[in-house]
Structure 1
């Protein structure tokens, strides 16, 4: 095998494909990248039995062939090379990379032992990549990071015709975001539970390439994403996701509207004195909300900012990290808090200042911290 390609193109392709490599592969060959050169095209692939990644780039192929080499080492080498064309050749069990005066020899891995990559299922529909990436970023903050509860480390995708609903929860908060898409089959109805980490990687690396193809396998075991000549597949998380939609209250008699950046900054400042497992308290009254944290002889902080209140005065307390992450997920100038009572979950949503309407495509439900007098 022998090919030549620009260093920046090769480095970016190797880096993206190597992202899917497991730090502790179940078998040694899965630490490798499978590189195939043929008829002016270079394909790179990685697989760890759960996630696969594959892309194609144009290259000057002088001799066709296939080789398996250590993915992480190759990525490190490509990043370190000078900005110039890279020539890659194979000679027996060695691969040689030459770039200007730099030369690296790598040992090959047994290609025959490499498993066959799963095929991308038929495309189920197309979504705007940027819109999908934004939806993912807003929802994954609520996914659990506790691997002892694998189901809650996933994001549930609910597809009903031309609408995708993303849901995630860690039992203390819940995020829901809706995004439109164009299904290949009108009236499609299906669900998928995808690891939040995998979905985040897809959103970050494929979301900016325009339209994103999403493919569901007929056996509901695999999901695939494809955009800009790159494709990745992932096994779905197995198990029954809790029915969390019912946690959203049907009626909320108390509403408060606050400027998003003002509140986010106030929460950040006041929470500096909130020690581990202590909340930030928000007291909503007509025209303002008072934030405070800290108790007794410990450090204390408070801040007052403007707020519009519709309903009775209410005081609630939240985990400052969960509240801060939730506010950071909104890109609207105002957020709306919807309450039933202090001990019950609060719902935060984007607020349209001009009309006062609740923009319901993204909702963030947060469990309050119970105060002593509640």
Structure 2
């Protein structure tokens, strides 16, 4: 087998696989990369048993063949090659890697013992790839990183005819985004870390989803993935979204982010980075206090509702995370000083975040 490929495209493909293939494992084969050289180019595949991934790298191929090599070592060699073109040659169990005067020889592994990765060929739903990536990125911050929190470590994906919704929560905050998507009704929970890898590989065009038994299959023109789903039932998040809104505040999202960031410098880290929000007479006053002093900022806002004034305390990081996906004007909707608050883009029904205030 001989293959000629640009260093840039091979490095990009290896970078995608390198993120999911473990560098150490009790099963050495799981640290390997499977390479299939065929008429499409180089098909790179790897797994960590929770996420299977396959990526096509365009290449000129002579005498197609397949082999496995140490993933991270191979990627490191390719990254450090000089020149723009890379030549790969398989002779028996030895892989030669050549570029710009350099040559490396790697021993390949046991191809027959490598786990068989099967990717579905049909699709149950077709979504806009960039919209799915944007939606997952918008809510990812709210998913928990704590192992004991089970389904909170995932992102719920709801498919309902003409629309889809992604939801994440860690019990203290919630984020959701709804977008147009055609497909059969489904509810599933994809691990947040798998969603991270999905976002990295999604580009323009369409992404095809296949719903299997405990597996979500993802296909694009270049990449195929199988993500093992989380077991369990996601809590009824609709119950925590406030309905009885007493005060709505509208202002520039960028201005609010900047102001919260400023006053949060002095917020007490041992008191959940508390920042006070005080709304009255068309003004939002932000204040934070810690061991080294106190800071405050005042912003002009539009306010409406049955309550003329309200004071709440929030974790500054939670507020900044909630505001992150919002461009233009932001709306804050308050039900009371101790009730969950809504943060959303003004006039945009797609994205919504819910943050629980800090108690006094």
With the shorter chain as reference, the TM-score category is over 0.9
Question: Separation in 1 of the partners of 2:108 and 2:286?
Answer: 61
147-156 or 83-92: which moved more?
Answer: 83-92
The answer to whether the Cα contact below 8 Å between 1:50 and 1:235 also exists between their aligned partners in 2 is: yes
Q: Does 1:236 pair with 2:229? A: yes
SS in 2 for 1:300: strand
Q: Does 1:283 pair with 2:290? A: no
Residue 365 of structure 1: aligned partner: 354
Residue 6 of structure 1: aligned partner: 6
Question: Separation in 2 of the partners of 1:270 and 1:346?
Answer: 20
- Aligned match for 1:307, one of 276, 301, 317: 301
Question: Separation in 2 of the partners of 1:298 and 1:39?
Answer: 66
- Aligned match for 1:265, one of 254, 258, 262: 258
Question: Separation in 1 of the partners of 2:239 and 2:118?
Answer: 36
TM-fit CA distance, 1:334: 0.9
What TM-score does the superposition give when structure 2 sets the normalisation length? 0.95
120-129 or 159-168: which moved more?
Answer: 120-129
Question: Separation in 2 of the partners of 1:275 and 1:30?
Answer: 45
Residue 220 of structure 2: aligned partner: 227
Residue 130 of structure 1: aligned partner: 130
SS in 2 for 1:274: coil
Residue 53 of structure 1: aligned partner: 53
Residue 250 of structure 1: aligned partner: 243
- Alpha carbons of 1:259 and 1:360: their partners in 2 closer, same or farther (altered >3 Å)? same
Q: Deviations over 1:179-212 (max 9, x none)?
A: 11122xxxx2111100112112212221x23222
Question: Separation in 1 of the partners of 2:64 and 2:218?
Answer: 28
Question: Separation in 1 of the partners of 2:181 and 2:143?
Answer: 23
SS in 2 for 1:202: helix
TM-fit CA distance, 1:275: 2.2
- Alpha carbons of 1:40 and 1:240: their partners in 2 closer, same or farther (altered >3 Å)? closer
Question: Separation in 2 of the partners of 1:257 and 1:194?
Answer: 34
Residue 315 of structure 2: aligned partner: 319
Structure 2 stretches lacking a partner, 5+ long: none
Question: Separation in 2 of the partners of 1:191 and 1:341?
Answer: 32
SS in 1 for 2:218: strand
The answer to whether the Cα contact below 8 Å between 2:201 and 2:223 also exists between their aligned partners in 1 is: no
SS in 1 for 2:350: strand
SS in 1 for 2:156: strand
Question: Separation in 2 of the partners of 1:82 and 1:177?
Answer: 44
What TM-score does the superposition give when structure 1 sets the normalisation length? 0.91
Residue 155 of structure 2: aligned partner: 155
- Alpha carbons of 1:24 and 1:148: their partners in 2 closer, same or farther (altered >3 Å)? farther
- RMSD, aligned CA: 1.5
Residue 181 of structure 1: aligned partner: 181
TM-fit CA distance, 1:92: 3.1
Q: Which runs of 4+ in 1 moved over 6 A?
A: none
Q: Deviations over 1:342-371 (max 9, x none)?
A: 00100111113xxxxxx2211100000012
117-126 or 239-248: which moved more?
Answer: 117-126
TM-fit CA distance, 1:251: 1.9
